[in-house]
Amino acid sequence: MAKHHIAATVNGDPVEFLCETEDTLLDVLRDTLNLTGSKEGCASGDCGACSVMLDGRLVCSCLVLGAEMNGKKVETIEGMATGEQLHPLQQQFLKHAALQCGICTPGFLVAAKALLERNTHPSETEVRYWLAGNLCRCTGYDKIVTAVMDTAAAMRKG
Amino acid sequence: MRYEAPDSLEGAVALLAGAKGETRVLAGGTDLLVQMRADILDPDLIVDIKKIPETRAITEEKGGWRIGAAVTGAELKEHPRLKKVWPGVIEAANLIGSTQIQGRATMGGNLCNGSPAADSVPALIAAGALATLAGPNGKRDLPVEDVMLGPRKLALQKGEIVASFLLPPRPPRSSDAYLRFIPRTEMDIAVVGAGVSLTVDSAGAVTAARVSLGAVAARVLLVAEAAQAIVGSRLDKPAQDRLEAAARAACRPIDDKRGTVEFRIQVAGVLARRAALIALDRARSN
Amino acid sequence: MPETNGHSNGTNGQHAVGARNIRPDGMDKVTGRARFGADYNLAGQLIGRVLRSPHPHARIVSIDTSKAEALPGVKAVITRDDFPDQSSEFIPAGEMMMNYRDVVRNVMAREKALYEGHAVAAVAATSVAIARRALKLIDVKYEVLPHVIDVVEAMAPNAPLLHDDLFTLGVEPKPEKPSNVAKRIEIKLGDVEAGFGKADIIVDREFKTAPVHQGYIEPHAALATVSEDGTTEVWTTTQGHYIVRAHCARLLGMDIGKVRVTATEIGGGFGGKTVVYLEPLAIALSKKAKRPVKMVMSREEVFKASGPTSGATVRVKMGATKDGKFVAGFAELKYQAGAFQGSPVQPGVFCAYAPYDIENVHVIGYDVVSNRPKVAAYRAPGAPISEYAVESVVDEIAKKLGIDPIQLRMMNAAREGTKAAYGPKFGPIGLEETLNSIKKTEHWNTPLRKWQGRGVASGFWFNIGGETCVSLTVNEDGTVSLMAGTPDIGGLRASLAAVAADELGVPYDKVRPIIGDTGSLGFNFLTGGSRSAFSGSMAIVEAAKLIKADLIARACKLWEAKPDQVEWKDGAVRPLGALAEKVKPMTVVDFAKVAGKTGGPIAGLGRINAQGAGPSFGTHLVDLEVDPETGRVTILRYTVAQDAGKALHPAYVEGQYQGGAVQGIGWALNEEYVYGADGKLQNAGFLDYRMPVASDVPMIDTVLVEVGNPKHPYGVRGVGETPIVPPLGAIANAMEAATGIRFTELPMSPPKVLKALKDKGLNKA
Amino acid sequence: MARVVLIGNLAQLTGGVVEFDLSATSVKQLFEQLAELHPAIKPHLEDGIAVAIDGQIYQDALLEPIGPTSEVYLLPAIAGGAQPGRRGARGECCTEQASAPPSRLRSAGA
């Protein structure tokens, strides 16, 4: 079966790649484009460790086909900091020790960024339900939720 | 495995009708890709319908609403007016999976995955929605309750796809609600689902109702007796008890890793009552 | 406990130890650069895949790999024949006892497949698709045998036998017939029958817990490359790369020195990554194919083929006087070991009554094999199960005697000098302080409504020390390179860097900590037993001592002074008395500039077998609400108080308290392995193996109790494992308070809760 | 004379005798004296044993001193059997070669 020839944008850069029909966007990011920041925890959309933005929409990249990516815009964890400047969420996660092993952290950061772009003043409940698709087994979620809410407050102050 | 992304219903139908081997339609893919990765499915042809305008549109039609089969849960939630007219249908679609799943999952996929525990299907059935199918011999409408025949079994002929849903016009003082039971607060497949849609008169009495239950039988049920139990009442205690009893009587559940027969029957009655009371409040206030 | 315990503090007087420093390895983790197991690749690597038994119990009659080997793109196929058999000799591995005869059989099935998912063969191919097709071409002839999963059924005389050469140890006279009971253990203190004679109240209950998984989000992954002369490199996500090296060398008959293992960043372990699964297979495949081989488990494989903890049946019988004094404690523990012997029943037996000062104790434990994946350690292995049962009975005694549950625990709490049921007397311990802390919280004093309940429970874990080797090197500019040998899962590098900074008087951000591979340091036992911060910091202090002694010697030479004219203090070698007029103190940075002239590079290797690990006690408080019509349980509020001795990094200690509590919440409410009648696992995925999600739990409030451990230079105690011990009992006790029903089976999932309520006609709003 | 108490199944290797008074001044001597009294316990002394001396638990006890009035407990290895020092090839390191370094997981030879 001939491979699909795909042209897309990843973290603002144009990319071209070949992929099989079976290859998911996560396979392409990790194995073809060597962007290993998105992680595979389950390959069934239940853990959120592979979260990316697809045309401005938060999705699990393990449940999207690479073949669907023609002309699409993908943003991964690798694109979250701009040059030297970390995104406020990245800084607050470090300040609040909102990660331990760190395997779920890329997914949480991408998902939390998507939340704050829609809702600058989320309540604790809104943060927890928005992030319910991101599993974490080390932290018990407390410091993650605190870090997201503190970032929202800091960004509101500008 | 071939992947095609036609930009017209006719194109999709032609591909599906003409294909030998196993074919699957790709809308959100949040069920399809999981089954492919778990070696449950190995289709020879995947037809991606997201480039077909009709499957992506939300339009008003004949006083009701037409919703494309490939409109995602997240898009439904952000639609300015749908939530007011059909709160139950929208909250059901928004209970399918996490925020990430909501970014992809569609009502078309949820229905055609053929699971009795699908979240959006009981709400669509309670709403009296029609599924508009496109196939080799043109379009036809099918009530949503007639689309699913049993687990993984659909009433679609070869080459037919669900193109969109039509939600009927709403008489005044009508509303709906959907509730499901899951042990966690998110992420689980419904152990029991209950959708209720009803209309009340100016005195607040129920004049029309539809009650649908998910995950309690081989397919999503439309429970006429449960509706009759509350029509004519103000959903007082006796009417609630009749509703619970009728809902439980209709259940034919199984024991599985998510729940027991006894549990599903018991909770089906509770959720039907709670959903009816929510729909009643909403109906009286609009 | 003096604050710095006599240790010099940083030059700026401000300590790194105890501060909430930003972890030095954090930047890579928040930008996606950090490399975990599956992120490593080598040019020309093959993809490895494992063929796993579909049967829970079957004799393997034959394995025909010829068709698979003939498939183009397949470069190697291995089976049991590629691993020499091993003698049955017991060795420690993580926190479990294991013997190599079992290890080699668990890595690759030999005579029998003993659980669904048991590895039977493996292939290495040039692509994933070819590897998957190759697996389908391997023809395995099975003779399917009857299976047994539940521990009590496995102990029945007529139960299907897993091993016909397994005779129960610890039973006199030695049995002649083989059985599924591998071992019976027993501890006695005083005379428990006499104790029950003195009791005014006796509570005797049986409890049942389901098997649960550690639930780390990162699946197992390994990359191995073997060259023609047998030199082997392995990159793997593990809690102990030295243990992986030792196991692989033993299983494949190689010199330990020939194997070099690098521990990648690890995406969670909780005890489950102290065992080898993929590493020996990847090495064997690479050896045959002469190319690197990468293997990554799917989530389904993690659930079916890696080691969860035991499901268990526990009976607890306690006696107390009417004023609440515990006079007798009996317990009988039956733990599943999975396919091979080695459940955590022994620590379960030791921990059952450890929090309490009881004169008469008798605890019996059974280690029972059944057709499930071999059990691996899961955070304080064995203790959550036995202490859940004891804490439930303690709660029942409190309610029957009308004594406040914290007061009852205070009256019987183990203190310094208390004789533990497992023998030795306790040194200084913090159980009372944790109870008092909980009592003083606003949480303890807030009233609740109908269908809401509050529960309290205490918990204990030993903690261990163990062999540890670290190095400190002072670079030319005076910055410090720190290398530890225990994988850092939750902030170890931050803690060790802080200790090194304070010891050498350099600022925290001038210390760069990394985790060295097995070629860089001496032997390190693994990260487990809550040991890495305790032992690592102790070893760092030793390494720093060597450096300080070296710097003092160099100063004496430079200043032509005798040792008693100089001292190390506040981050510098300082001249004393008359000498102080002639020379200025020299800091690490000063010495670094003249290192070459004063003897060469400045470095210290800390090599210890850390002794003196102090136990960590905790007490948890939980409020929950039950929906009587559906049986659903919602956690409203949660507080953890635990003794850390000295928190090297408060935020990461709090993180251990919060993470352990939420794992406990999952274990108590919704997590369980669900088996069909066919012995197959039905919920091998995160959809139906229900771990708590963010919206399931409230904030987890923490109280950092610090009763110093005199045997550690900074007073540190291990904290990683105790947090998972109390939640099961606390939540069960809260459920009793909310419903009036004593739930004796975990998980307390909605179907069970609703059935219990309905049976008592309570399922109304 | 130090008071030595056996905990758990160890007593089954000494015909049920649980307590001893021994003149040993180090753990090594204690193991040797016990092995003489009850040869059956000898193989178990090196592996899977933790030794508590006056409340302090030693995972890899061999050279630790024992005082004349010490209270010593021999426990099956605790904390899940984490016996870091003792593993690998089963040389008779404790009794014959007095100076053998603590053994670690050793390969069974090339």
What's the pLDDT at D29?
94
Contact D104 C246 (CB under 8 A): yes
Mean pLDDT of C93-113: 84
Q: How far apart are CA A49 and CA C708, in angstroms?
A: 39
Residues of A in contact with B1 (CB under 8 A): 1, 20-22
Q: What is the mean pLDDT of chain B?
A: 96
With b for 16 or more beta-carbon neighbours within 10 A and e for fewer, the B99-119 pattern comes to bbbbbbbbbbbbbbbbbbbbb
Q: C190-218 pLDDT, tens per residue? A: 999 999 999 999 999 999 999 999 999 99
Please check whether residue D35 lies inside any domain of the structure. Answer: yes
* Phi, psi (rounded to 5 degrees) for B59: -135, 155
Please state the length of chain C. Answer: 765
Across the A:C interface, residue pairs with CB atoms under 8 Å apart total: 174
Quote the tokens at residue B242: 């009749």
Please check whether residue B2 lies inside any domain of the structure. Answer: no
Mean pLDDT of C266-270: 96
Contact C662 A140 (CB under 8 A): yes
Per mean pLDDT, which range of C82-96, D7-21, D28-42 is the poorest? C82-96
Contact B183 C754 (CB under 8 A): no
Question: What SS3 class is residue D49?
Answer: strand
Q: C340-354 pLDDT, tens per residue? A: 999 999 999 999 999
CATH number of C26-34+469-602: 3.30.365.10
Neighbours of C579 (CB within 10 A): 16
Query: Confidence class of residue D108 from pLDDT cuts 50, 70 and 90?
Result: very low
Residues of A in contact with B33 (CB under 8 A): 24, 45, 62-65
Please check whether residue B229 lies inside any domain of the structure. Answer: yes
Q: Which domain holds residue A68?
A: 4-78
Q: B99-126 pLDDT, tens per residue? A: 999 999 999 999 999 999 999 999 999 9
Mean pLDDT of C595-611: 96
Mean pLDDT of B210-235: 97
Q: D70-107 pLDDT, tens per residue? A: 999 998 775 432 332 233 332 223 223 232 222 333 22
Query: Confidence class of residue D41 from pLDDT cuts 50, 70 and 90?
Result: confident
Q: How far apart are CA C563 and CA D48, in angstroms?
A: 45
CATH number of C427-463+614-765: 3.30.365.10
Q: How far apart are CA C151 and CA C723, in angstroms?
A: 26
Please check whether residue B252 lies inside any domain of the structure. Answer: yes
Mean pLDDT of D2-31: 88
- The residues, ordered by sequence, that sit 6+ positions from A157 with a Cβ below 8 Å of its Cβ are none
Across the A:B interface, residue pairs with CB atoms under 8 Å apart total: 88
Question: How many structural domains does chain D have?
Answer: 1
Query: Confidence class of residue C424 from pLDDT cuts 50, 70 and 90?
Result: confident
Q: What is the ipTM of this complex?
A: 0.94
- The residues, ordered by sequence, that sit 6+ positions from C653 with a Cβ below 8 Å of its Cβ are C644, C647, C704, C719
Indicate whether A94 and A129 sit together in one domain. yes
Please check whether residue A30 lies inside any domain of the structure. Answer: yes
Question: What SS3 class is residue A157?
Answer: helix
Residues C216, C291 contacting (CB under 8 angstroms):
no
Residues C499, C10 contacting (CB under 8 angstroms):
no
Indicate whether A24 and A66 sit together in one domain. yes
Nearest to B189 among C687, C692, C693 (CB): C687
Mean pLDDT of C254-261: 96
What's the pLDDT at C389?
98
* Phi, psi (rounded to 5 degrees) for C105: -75, -25
| B29 contact A CB<8A | yes
Q: Which domain holds residue D56?
A: 2-81
Binding partners of D (≥3 Cβ pairs within 8 A): C
Question: What SS3 class is residue C454?
Answer: strand
Residues C504, C544 contacting (CB under 8 angstroms):
yes
Helix (H) or strand (E) holding B249: helix B237-250
The alpha-carbon gap from C473 to the nearest alpha carbon of chain A, in Å, equals: 26
DSSP state, residue C722 = G
Mean pLDDT of B133-149: 97
Could you tell me the CATH number of the domain that includes residue D50?
Answer: 3.10.20.30
- The residues, ordered by sequence, that sit 6+ positions from C301 with a Cβ below 8 Å of its Cβ are C50, C52, C117, C219, C220
- The residues, ordered by sequence, that sit 6+ positions from C187 with a Cβ below 8 Å of its Cβ are C349, C350, C361, C362, C363, C421, C422, C423, D7, D8
What's the pLDDT at D85?
28
Q: In three state form, how does the secondary structure of B153-200 look?
A: EECCCCCCEEEEEEECCCCCCEEEEEEEECCCCCCCCCCEEEEEEEEE
* CA distances for C177 relative to C157, C163, C173, C182, C212, angstroms: 10, 11, 12, 12, 31
Q: Which domain holds residue B202?
A: 174-285
What's the pLDDT at B88?
97
Q: C433-465 pLDDT, tens per residue? A: 999 999 999 999 999 999 999 999 999 998 989
Mean pLDDT of B222-228: 98
Check pLDDT > 90 for residue C338: yes
Nearest to A36 among C39, C269, C686 (CB): C39
Please check whether residue B208 lies inside any domain of the structure. Answer: yes
Please check whether residue B72 lies inside any domain of the structure. Answer: no
What's the pLDDT at C97?
62
Longest dimension (CA), chain B: 60
Percent of chain C with pLDDT strictly greater than 70: 97
Please check whether residue D108 lies inside any domain of the structure. Answer: no
Query: Confidence class of residue D44 from pLDDT cuts 50, 70 and 90?
Result: confident
Contact A64 B186 (CB under 8 A): no
Mean pLDDT of B63-89: 96
Across the B:C interface, residue pairs with CB atoms under 8 Å apart total: 57
Q: C295-334 pLDDT, tens per residue? A: 999 999 999 999 899 999 999 999 999 999 999 999 999 9
Contact D78 C347 (CB under 8 A): yes
Q: Beta strand C326-338 with C361-369: parallel, antiparallel or unpaired? A: parallel
The answer to whether the bond into C173 is cis (omega within 30° of 0) is: yes
Residue found under tokens 């069909």: C676
Helix (H) or strand (E) holding C261: strand C259-263
Could you tell me the CATH number of the domain that includes residue A48?
Answer: 3.10.20.30
Please check whether residue D48 lies inside any domain of the structure. Answer: yes
What's the pLDDT at B271?
98
Q: What is the pTM of this model?
A: 0.95
Neighbours of A119 (CB within 10 A): 13
Mean pLDDT of B256-282: 97
Per mean pLDDT, which range of A85-94, C505-514, D54-63 is the poorest? D54-63
Q: What is the mean pLDDT of chain C?
A: 95
Residue of C nearest to D5 (CA): C423
Contact C659 A43 (CB under 8 A): no
Query: Confidence class of residue D18 from pLDDT cuts 50, 70 and 90?
Result: confident
Check pLDDT > 70 for residue C10: no
Question: What SS3 class is residue C678?
Answer: coil
CA dihedral C72, C74, C78, C82 (to 10 degrees): 90
Residues B99, A133 contacting (CB under 8 angstroms):
yes
Contact B38 C669 (CB under 8 A): no
DSSP B80-122: TTHHHH-HHHHHHHTTSS-HHHHTT-BHHHHHHTT-TT-SHHH
Nearest to B258 among C629, C688, C755 (CB): C688
Query: Confidence class of residue B74 from pLDDT cuts 50, 70 and 90?
Result: very high
Q: C671-699 pLDDT, tens per residue? A: 999 999 999 999 999 999 999 999 999 99
Contact B267 C695 (CB under 8 A): no
- Alpha-carbon dihedral sign for residues C368, C373, C377, C381: negative
Please check whether residue D56 lies inside any domain of the structure. Answer: yes
| A136 contact C CB<8A | yes
Contact B183 C695 (CB under 8 A): no
Residue C363, strand partner residues: C187, C331
At C298, which amino acid appears?
S
Q: How far apart are CA C3 and CA B273, in angstroms?
A: 62
Contact C690 B184 (CB under 8 A): yes
Quote the tokens at residue C374: 């071999």
What's the pLDDT at A1?
66
Helices C405-412 and C431-439: crossing angle, nearest 10°? Answer: 160
Contact B262 C755 (CB under 8 A): yes
Residues B59, B22 contacting (CB under 8 angstroms):
no
Q: How far apart are CA A4 and CA B264, in angstroms?
A: 46
Q: How far apart are CA A46 and CA B210, in angstroms?
A: 33
Q: Which spans in C4-79 are helix H?
A: 26-31, 66-70
Residues D29, D57 contacting (CB under 8 angstroms):
no
* Phi, psi (rounded to 5 degrees) for C117: 105, -5
Please check whether residue B48 lies inside any domain of the structure. Answer: no
Could you tell me the CATH number of the domain that includes residue B210?
Answer: 3.30.390.50
Residue of A nearest to C379 (CA): A138
Nearest to A102 among C38, C265, C298 (CB): C265
- The residues, ordered by sequence, that sit 6+ positions from C209 with a Cβ below 8 Å of its Cβ are C310, C311, C312, C314, C385, C388, C667, C728, C745, C746
Contacts 24+ apart (CB under 8 A), C574-577: none
What's the pLDDT at C472?
98
Please check whether residue B242 lies inside any domain of the structure. Answer: yes
Nearest to B3 among A4, A24, A46 (CB): A4
Query: Confidence class of residue C91 from pLDDT cuts 50, 70 and 90?
Result: low
